Structure 1
Amino acid sequence: MFEQAIVDQNPHWGGQPYNEGVRRDVLGKILEFLDLPHIISLVGVRRAGKSTIARQAINYLMGEKGINPKNILFLNLETPQFSRFRNDVASLERIYDDYLKLAAPEGTVYCFLDEVHFFPEWQVFVKDRFERKGIKFIVTGSNSRLLSSEFITLLSGRALPVEVFPFSFAEFARARGLDVGDRLEALRDRHRFRGVFDEYLRFGGFPEIAFIEDSALRKEVLVMYARNILYQDIAPRFGVKKAQELENLFFYLTSNVASLYSFNRLAALVGLTDKTVKEYLSFFADAHLLFTLDSFDFSVKEQIRSPKKIYAIDTGMAAATAFSFSENFGHYLENLVFLALRQQGREIYYYKTATGLEVDFVCREKGALTEFIQVARDLQGEKTRTRELKALFRALEETGLQSGTIVTYEDEDEISEGGRTIRVVPAYRYFCG
């Protein structure tokens, strides 16, 4: 019944590797997990490249591990051939049985289930097959539930979640033929690095967008991405009846990335109830469109009560759906630093000093504060320079840390005061590591 669809989705059975495109940094973590018995779940916003990463893993299995191509099954469950059976979980068993008849695999089977959340009860099939042994599951999805403790508990603690983002700057630079790991090249070819960084800041890191040359088309595609997620994923999944309200709130938030918000203030600004705003924000988070950042406080209660900051999954999408790019230049730069810290797996907050001064990011590790990072478009104006330095030096003094960083568009400096040092780093250098 499903034979043709299975064959069509598995051209690697002929022994030819897939075109990998830009090799993704997160692939290293996935390859480490392949030898473990656990289920691997790749989770991230739509169009971030999860399917491509899965195919890069298939290439590795065939080329480096010598796995028989027919022992590797790839199924995109969102395709019409399969999605019409989405409410019948028994169909997954029938699909897998057809695969066994077609391929007759011997030994461990590597089963890639792409966009797995389209089958609401998929975990029933995966859990049953997993417990029979002899199968390694790698699943992908756009639903944050795949990262949740509820999901991990459901599969008896046997799941290893991996969060997938659009291109980092390092990956975007590789797509442009630059190696950010080569410090000499970054210094020697700094003007080209800056140009590529400008492009990355303005248009973001969605893989498909990186290879579109026309700026207007890039913007159209990014708006389409956003609307597809809002209207085709979020609205039907959560039963949102007034999807236009969903879009209005999302577009307002992308126009105000890196800004503080409270539920009450947002509700008043967009004409919705507090309850609705909270729900919509949770929907955006579930689809990996937007993130919120808490203020650091040793009191969890105060942390929860404090205003939040909002960040977008991609500066290109934020700019395409916002009212103006130039006015938010510094905020988009801050958004990129947030995403870089998230991709590194850092525990991050924003910080308020005892006198109410704000530092954009503070990192915590094993319960201790370890690093302060401030972001500013530039430090050329005396008022801006005084404000940014005062906040950062005060935060260092309060916490006993000796150094901090200010990321700017192109300023570079080192400033010492009272035995403490602040390093001012141009953005393209900061993202080169």
Structure 2
Amino acid sequence: MKTIIRKNYLNTLSVLKDKNLIKVATGVRRCGKSTLMMQFQDLLRAENPNVSVLAINMDMPEFRILAEKNWKEIYDYIIQHIKKNETNYVFIDEVQNVPEFEKLLEGLYVHPNIDLYVTGSNAFLLSSELATLLTGRAYEINVLPFSFADYLEFTEKTANPDRAFAEYVRTGGFPEAVRLSQAGNNFANEYLQTVFKNIYENDISKRHTIYAEESYQEVVDFLIDSVGSNVSAGNIAKVLSANKKKIDNKTVSKYINTLVEAYLFYKVNRYDIKGKQHLATQEKYYLVDLGFRNALLGKELVSDAGHLLENVIYLELKRRNHQIWIGKTDNLEVDFVVRNNEGYTQYIQVSQTVQNAITLARELAPFDKIPDHNEKILITMDYESGTHNGIKQINAIDWLLNP
């Protein structure tokens, strides 16, 4: 299997090249951020063989000594190793591991000969603390594991995309998990369990005090099992307490925030379509990679297939840089209200199948309550496509592979 060129992310980096911004690639650990940056470095060298590139990865032996240094010593090291009177492209992997890293970034940002690129695996560090210091100076590129199109290219399983999609939902899109799955799903599962443990130890427990690890894991399992469903901290606390796992709303809310900060889950808020206002209750959470579901819960695909498909569609919408909300219209729900980069709005419903007339009517009903004429799409795994009173029905695999 080959290395996949992450074209969309590389295109974004190319557009931002030499712009007066810190390019910040964020995302869950092991999703491919470092590989992306190496691919971009290769692109820079292909354009100009004499380009000055300085890439620092604290995990590499030649840079391990820097991991013990303070931010000023690392800054001095970088300044000593760049060329004068030309643009130097400086890359720093997992920058949040540098003590007082924001001072390092600010110093490098104002240097006239540096175009700065960094990666990080913690949303709080890179969106809250950085935002205060570097408002308007940083551009965040959120990197996700492989899309289904990436998965097909990586595995070369293009002959039977339906079967490949089932395997993708089971294995997920972490590059190494996909590679290991070729030797057996147990290898991929063990790898993903290790990834989760690594995220917990490095991005969560080091920063937050987790008093009851068992209760924390119960919250993780609950959220994984509830992708695509409306949840609240109060509801989770009530369910866990009923199962003899005593925990309060505040603790559940704190635990969920740590999972979002580590990019394990993405929170999606609700939007009142008729009232045109954002709502603060009954949000949904989508898992960054469905491989975790199989690895941590051991759930079969047939269990909740519709919500798993919804999770896949959400992640693809995010890859396409759309703004995404859960839609509310009267007492009905639209799975996704989407606004693209050009400002156009779409309404999307996701269902595993609508071959049953009752199911079809249920999925179309929220569209009938929407007063405007923005595009309305029904995405299913059914082979049938067409329209229902102007509402497009599209096969999910066709939609995923033909943006």
TM-score by length of 2: 0.88
- Structure 1 residue 275: Cα displacement: 0.9
Q: 1:105 to 1:22 in 2, by over 3 A?
A: farther
User: Contact conserved, 1:85 with 1:91, CA < 8 A, in 2?
Assistant: no
Amino acid at match of 1:75: I
Please name the residue that 1:72 is paired with: 53
Please name the residue that 1:47 is paired with: 30
Q: 1:156 to 1:385 in 2, by over 3 A?
A: closer
Quote the Cα distance in structure 2 between the aligned partners of 1:200 and 1:303. Answer: 33
Please name the residue that 2:238 is paired with: 268
- Structure 1 residue 202: Cα displacement: 1.8
- Structure 1 residue 366: Cα displacement: 9.0
Q: 1:230 to 1:83 in 2, by over 3 A?
A: farther
Quote the Cα distance in structure 2 between the aligned partners of 1:151 and 1:105. Answer: 28
Quote the Cα distance in structure 2 between the aligned partners of 1:340 and 1:366. Answer: 15
Amino acid at match of 1:288: Y
Quote the Cα distance in structure 2 between the aligned partners of 1:224 and 1:318. Answer: 14
Q: 1:164 aligns with which of 130, 138, 143?
A: 143
Q: 2:185 aligns with which of 212, 215, 226?
A: 215
Quote the Cα distance in structure 2 between the aligned partners of 1:260 and 1:40. Answer: 34
User: Contact conserved, 1:223 with 1:320, CA < 8 A, in 2?
Assistant: yes
Q: How is 1:202-241 mapped onto 2 (pairs within 5 angstroms)?
A: 202-212=170-180, 213=182, 214-241=184-211
Please name the residue that 1:303 is paired with: 279
Please name the residue that 1:316 is paired with: 291
Alpha-carbon RMSD across the aligned residues, in angstroms, is 2.6
Q: Which runs of 5+ in 1 are unaligned?
A: 1-18, 179-188
Quote the Cα distance in structure 2 between the aligned partners of 1:342 and 1:310. Answer: 13
Please name the residue that 1:90 is paired with: 72
SS where residue 272 of structure 1 aligns? coil
Q: 1:415 to 1:255 in 2, by over 3 A?
A: same
Amino acid at match of 1:375: V
Amino acid at match of 1:351: G
User: Contact conserved, 1:61 with 1:67, CA < 8 A, in 2?
Assistant: no
Amino acid at match of 1:268: K
Amino acid at match of 2:282: P
Aligned positions, number: 390
Q: Which runs of 5+ in 2 are unaligned?
A: 241-245
Q: 1:370 to 1:106 in 2, by over 3 A?
A: closer
1:119 aligns with 2:98: yes
SS where residue 295 of structure 1 aligns? strand
Please name the residue that 1:422 is paired with: 391
- Structure 1 residue 314: Cα displacement: 0.7
Quote the Cα distance in structure 2 between the aligned partners of 1:260 and 1:82. Answer: 47
Q: 1:98 to 1:246 in 2, by over 3 A?
A: farther
Amino acid at match of 1:350: I
Please name the residue that 2:165 is paired with: 197
Quote the Cα distance in structure 2 between the aligned partners of 1:20 and 1:126. Answer: 34
Please name the residue that 1:405 is paired with: 377
User: Contact conserved, 1:255 with 1:323, CA < 8 A, in 2?
Assistant: no
Amino acid at match of 1:225: V
Please name the residue that 1:377 is paired with: 352
Q: Deviations over 1:341-389 (max 9, x none)?
A: 11112122122331x2222112246998721111111113333223112
The 4+ residue runs of structure 1 with deviation greater than 4 A are 298-302, 365-369
Q: 1:156 to 1:263 in 2, by over 3 A?
A: closer
1:246 aligns with 2:246: no
Amino acid at match of 1:127: E
Please name the residue that 1:334 is paired with: 310
SS where residue 399 of structure 1 aligns? coil
Q: Deviations over 1:231-284 (max 9, x none)?
A: 332011122232332222112211121111122111112232111111111111
